[in-house]
């Protein structure tokens, strides 16, 4: 959904865009997206291919769950609470600072540990 939204924004805006940073709190999804689609079983492969095609120049980054604004709505907040939720309306405070202040990205997950990895068959 994020890849579709960013593509739509890029395609319809007249803003000059220098770079695109897309955020996810799922390290598994980021590992998929940052790998070649052929590494994954068909469902994931097709999703990854589509995401990479829609956002070829995007930089995908990890946002800690506690700093993810999307989680505010999914945690069962009442609308009266969501209206006052600063994270929902303004995002994490570090996002307004320089990139040096953003959360460290750490390493990707080990691809071989993910069950979605396509098994390779060697013929003799």
| pLDDT tens by residue, 66-90 | 899 888 778 788 888 888 999 999 9
Q: How far apart are CA 55 and CA 6, in angstroms?
A: 7
Q: Is the whole-model pTM more than 0.85?
A: no
Length of the chain, please? Answer: 124
Q: How far apart are CA 81 and CA 2, in angstroms?
A: 24
Whether the pLDDT of residue 65 is over 60: the answer is yes
Q: Please give the share of the chain, as a percent, with pLDDT higher than 70.
A: 92
The token pair at 28 is 């598994």
């Amino acid at each position: 959904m994020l890849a579709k939204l960013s593509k739509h924004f890029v395609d319809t805006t007249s803003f000059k865009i220098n770079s695109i940073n897309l955020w996810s709190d799922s390290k598994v999804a980021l590992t998929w997206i940052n790998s070649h689609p052929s590494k994954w079983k068909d469902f994931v492969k097709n999703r990854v291919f589509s995401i990479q095609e829609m956002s070829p120049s995007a930089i995908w980054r990890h946002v800690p769950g506690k700093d993810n604004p999307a989680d505010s709505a999914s945690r069962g907040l009442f609308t009266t609470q969501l209206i006052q939720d600063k994270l929902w309306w303004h995002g994490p405070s570090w996002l307004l600072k320089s990139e040096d202040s953003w959360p460290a990205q750490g390493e990707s997950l080990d691809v071989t540990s993910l069950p979605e990895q396509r098994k390779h068959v060697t013929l003799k």
